[in-house]
Structures are given as structure tokens and as C-alpha cells.
A and B are shown apart, each in its own frame.
Chain A
Amino acid sequence: MSLRRTEAAAFRLAAAGVRFDGRAALAGVELEIRPGESLALVGPSGSGKTTLLRLLNAAALPSSGSVEIDGRALNGMPPAALRDLRARIGFVHQDLCLVPNVRVLSNVLAGRLGQQGLAASLRSLLQPPRAEIEEVARVLERVGIGEKLYQRTDSLSGGQRQRVALARALFQEPRALLADEPVSAVDPARARSMVALLAEVSRERGLTLVVSLHDIALAREFFPRLVGLRGGRVVFDRRTGEVTAGELERLYALEGLELADDGAGRSP
């Protein structure tokens, strides 16, 4: 890896493992991601992609090994510092996790909650300052739904809601953007434009981008680096052009045992 020692990695995982109820969701993960780099996590359902993203988001802590974000180790970090760290990492959840019965504006404004005190956040809920509204409008404009600012979130289509979730993450002014299967709920054409948008905004703003994807073709098209996960372990981590068809086939190969004990889609 061509990492200069002077530059702190955006994410560095060393022998990182996560266990839930005695079952290993992730084991012995070695991963280093440079600031501004973009990569896709690929692998079958239940391979640990979501868990790995949660580690990168400081939403889960490693049960073994270590995770460093911007050069700071997660284990033993006090709650306030964890909060600050999370506030600067944008996460687009698979099921979006928006509040459906409020306006798009409120959902996007919520992106800054981690950087505000209670009083400031209440004020911006009741009467958002003009400047903040304009900022939200610009972010929405950038993700292609500028006109939806004052609409109720549940009146939007699935693809538009995805963009609201992305806008909330961008409004955090994050250093890194993480997205968990950002295309699972939309048709192929919209899936492609969503991934393209993620790649584009990340490049524009110099964000580190990590996206988990089922769709190998999309991953190959938009990401220069692929990390293959299977059974909670990294099976390959290389430049996209160097990943062989055989490796991908083995990555997704079905085993009878797995079907019987399918941890698919579990997001603890």
C-alpha cells in the first residue's frame, strides 16, 4: 500500500473483530483507508459488510483488535469524543432511517444535531435561521431534489428519499461518507445514478467514501478499490482491475451449510 507515513489514515483496522451473542460477525480484519479514497465492500448477505461499516462509523466498537479513525483509537474513547467523531462521519443507512412525517428540511437539518447543543437544535427546529435553510436548499439542489425542501418526507418516492438521506449526511459536513447498500430499494437505473452521485459528491468534496454493494457491476464501474468479505473475513482487498472473475465467483458461491444457518441481513 502506497501510504505515506506522514499522513494519518482515515480508517485503520488491525486484527479487528466483532462478536454478537458469541457469534463472530467480523474477525481479524486488516484494513487501511486513506483520506479521500473511495472503495466498495462486496460480498454475500451476512458477510459482515454492515458490521464493518458500523465500525467505521464508530457506531459499534471492536470486541478484539483495534479501530482507528483519523488516527484516534475507538476503544477507551470517552462518550463525548465518540460523539464528535460520529458527527463528522456521514452514514446513509440501507433503510434510510428518516423521520417520515416531517418536512424534508427537518430531516436534513437533523444532520447537524451532533454538532449542536440541545438549545441550538431546538431553535433550529422551531425557527431555522435563514442561512441554514439556504444551506439545506443548496445541498438538496446538489443531490437533485432542490424543489422538495418544504415537502413532507413520506410524500417522496423511494429514490428521492434516498437523496434526502444523502443530503442529511452531506449537511453534517463530514470527512467521510459511508453508505450501506444504497441501492437496495430502487430499480437498476436509479441504483446506478445513486451510486454515481455518491462517487461524484465525494470526489467534489474530497470525502473518503466507503459503500457496501451487492451489485458487482456497479462496484466495478465506480470504485477503484474492492474489498471482498465473506463469513466475516476479508478475502481480497485490491485494485478493481486486479480482482479476478474466479475470486468473485468464490466470494458469492453458495454453500449448503450457509443456507441452513443464514444470518442474512441481520443488522444488530
Chain B
Amino acid sequence: MTALAAVPEPRRISGRGLVLAGIALATLGAWLALDAPLSGLVPREGSWRIVRGFFGSALQPALDYEGEVPEGTLPLLASGLAAARRTLVFAVGGMSLALVFGVVLGFLASSSWWAAERRGRSWLGPLVWSSARVLIVGMRSVHELLWAVLFLAACGLNTFGAVVAIAIPYGGTLAKIFSEMLEEAPRDSAKALRELGAGPLQVFLFGQLPRALPDMAAYAFYRFECAVRSSAVLGFFGFPTLGYSIAQAFENLHYAEVWTYLYLLMALVVGIELWSGALRRRFVA
């Protein structure tokens, strides 16, 4: 009988353990540096009234204006619906541009495709995918509200500015996630098409893209929902979306009106959720 080879002893302190402990310590340090006692969450004396007033109206959203409005103003529900429609339109505008950025840049940044398709020009792939990635990082590291502030300063209260402000960071995020999904999708069908003589773009469009498409579509729907929220918040900067109505009602302490607008916003988000769910059931399951 031969002796079994010695099983190596597990190391006492593993690299993984050290990393986890480091993350835990850093998190604790961040909370200490925050200097945020729980008592900070308890409203002060006068604020209680506001909190009670605000949440007290939650179950009684306004159906009509709470205060005086100028002659000829649309009824509350009509103007709320119009703001909701504009919120949706801004989001659709931003998202459709973002999808174009996302698909094109996501494709360019997908290094596996370039690695498989390089034909002698080995510098071309790395050049393209690294420039695409730099561009993507630039686009998504600035928040849409900051882009909106920049566009406000540059072009004033311009609808197209708001749409582009959404499209830039959303396009960057979509591109990053799309490129990861394209990289992680199984490559067998792409390989088979390459081996039956398909060209590089055909391999991508017919072999690789369809494998990632269900995930890409699901993620795009989720981002569309986010775009509706972003579009609403752009109203705080004066764009005529739901955020604008919410900010005005809030300033006038018309909490019941605020709730009307909030419910409209929720209805938009729920509507998108239902729509995407229905599509998923139809195409993915």
C-alpha cells in the first residue's frame, strides 16, 4: 500500500478573510465618520406638524386645487395628467437616445468580440474597446441632474437639454451593462457562425447579440423605470414634469396635491412594470 499524499493544512489567515475584515472595518469607519446619531431622525418640535400634515394627506389626495389659482388654469387632475404625460415623454426621449448609445458603445466595448475577430490588426481592438470604455466611464460618472444643471447653464430651459441630460448617463450605464452581458453570453453559436464563413458583424448580430438580448431587454426596461423617476425629478429644476408640480405644491404646503402627483408618478412606474412583465412572459418564458 502506498501512503496517501499529505493533504496541505489550510492556512490560518486566508487572503479572503483579510479582505472581508478590511471591508468591515472600512464600513465601520465610514459610519463613525458620518457622525449620524439616530436622534437626528426624530423631527424637531415644529416639524412634527409638517410630517403629520404630509402623511395625514396620503389617503386623501386632492381632486381639486387647495388654494386660489389664476383664471383659466387647467383643473388639477388634467394638469397632473399633462405633467405625467410630459414626464413619460421626457423619459422616452432620453431612453431612446440612451439605447442607441448603449448598444453601439456596448458593442464597441465588448473585448471578446474584438479578440475573436481581430484579423492581423491586433492594435485595433484594444484601441477601440479601451476608448469606448473611457467614454462610457465619463458618461456615467456624472449624474443626470448635474448634466441637467450644465445644460441649463448652457442652453437655458430647453427640452432637448433635459432629454440629453438623461440620455448621457443612462447611455453610459446601459453600455457598461450591455457590454458585460454580451461578454458573458455563451459564445458557441457565434463560433459556429464564424466557422461557416459569416463576417464579423454577422457573427455579432446573428450569433452573439441574440444570446444576450433577453437580459438586455429586461435591464433596459428597468432603466426605463429609472428614467421616469429621473425625468420627474428634473422638474425641480423647472422642466415641466411631475417634479415641477410636486415642488410647487410642496412649497405652498398643499400636501394633498403633492400626494395626487406622487400617485400619478407611482401609476407610471407600476404601468411600466406591468407592461415589461407582460412582454417578458410572452417572449422569455
A73 CB–B CB distance under 8 Å: no
Residue B202 contacts which of A82, A96, A106, A121 (CB distance < 8 angstroms)?
Answer: A121
Question: 14 other contacts beyond A97-B188, A99-B207, A121-B205, with CB at 8 A cut-off?
Answer: A57-B195, A83-B199, A87-B197, A97-B189, A97-B191, A110-B198, A113-B197, A113-B202, A114-B196, A114-B198, A118-B201, A121-B206, A125-B206, A168-B196
| Contact mask for chain B residues 180-198; partner A; CB cutoff 8 A; 1 contact, 0 none | 0000000011011111111
Bound Cα distance A125, B211 (Å): 15
| Contact mask for chain A residues 104-147; partner B; CB cutoff 8 A; 1 contact, 0 none | 00100011011110100110010000000000000000000000
B16 CB–A CB distance under 8 Å: no
Tell me which residues from 54 to 103 in chain B have a Cβ below 8 Å from any Cβ of chain A. none
Residues of B within 8 A of A223 (CB): none
Asked if residues A86 and B189 are in contact (CB atoms below 8 Å), the reply is: no
Bound Cα distance A121, B207 (Å): 12
Residue A99 contacts which of B196, B199, B211 (CB distance < 8 angstroms)?
Answer: B211
Asked if residues A101 and B197 are in contact (CB atoms below 8 Å), the reply is: no
A22 CB–B CB distance under 8 Å: no
Listed by A's residue number, 6 A-B pairs whose Cβ atoms lie within 8 Å are A86-B197, A89-B196, A91-B196, A98-B189, A101-B214, A118-B199
Bound Cα distance A59, B268 (Å): 51
Asked if residues A99 and B210 are in contact (CB atoms below 8 Å), the reply is: yes
Residues of B within 8 A of A118 (CB): 199, 201-202
Asked if residues B119 and A79 are in contact (CB atoms below 8 Å), the reply is: yes
> How many B residues have CB within 8 A of the partner chain?
22
Q: Which residues does B use to contact A, with CB under 8 Å?
A: 119, 188-189, 191-199, 201-202, 205-207, 210-211, 213-214, 284
Tell me which residues from 2 to 50 in chain A have a Cβ below 8 Å from any Cβ of chain B. none
A231 CB–B CB distance under 8 Å: no
User: If the complex has contacts A79-B119, A97-B188, A122-B205, are A91 and B195 also in contact, measured as CB distance less than 8 A?
Assistant: yes
Asked if residues A97 and B192 are in contact (CB atoms below 8 Å), the reply is: yes
Asked if residues A93 and B205 are in contact (CB atoms below 8 Å), the reply is: no
Bound Cα distance A169, B195 (Å): 11
Residues of A within 8 A of B191 (CB): 97
A258 CB–B CB distance under 8 Å: no
Q: How far is the CB of B187 from chain A (nearest CB, A)?
A: 9
Asked if residues B197 and A115 are in contact (CB atoms below 8 Å), the reply is: yes
Asked if residues B197 and A110 are in contact (CB atoms below 8 Å), the reply is: no
Bound Cα distance A87, B213 (Å): 26
| Contact mask for chain A residues 150-185; partner B; CB cutoff 8 A; 1 contact, 0 none | 000000000000000000110010000000000000
Asked if residues B195 and A101 are in contact (CB atoms below 8 Å), the reply is: no
Residue A101 contacts which of B192, B196, B213 (CB distance < 8 angstroms)?
Answer: B213
Closest residue of chain A to B192, judged by CB?
Answer: A97
Asked if residues A93 and B188 are in contact (CB atoms below 8 Å), the reply is: yes
Residues of A within 8 A of B284 (CB): 101
Bound Cα distance A106, B189 (Å): 12
Closest residue of chain A to B190, judged by CB?
Answer: A97
Asked if residues A101 and B205 are in contact (CB atoms below 8 Å), the reply is: no
Closest residue of chain A to B284, judged by CB?
Answer: A101
Give the interface centre of B191, B197, B205, B214 by most chain A CB atoms within 10 Å: B197
Asked if residues B206 and A111 are in contact (CB atoms below 8 Å), the reply is: no
Residues of A within 8 A of B188 (CB): 93, 95-97
Asked if residues B210 and A102 are in contact (CB atoms below 8 Å), the reply is: yes
Closest residue of chain B to A59, judged by CB?
Answer: B195
Asked if residues B207 and A172 are in contact (CB atoms below 8 Å), the reply is: no
Asked if residues B196 and A111 are in contact (CB atoms below 8 Å), the reply is: yes
Asked if residues B192 and A113 are in contact (CB atoms below 8 Å), the reply is: no
Q: How far is the CB of A28 from chain B (nearest CB, A)?
A: 25
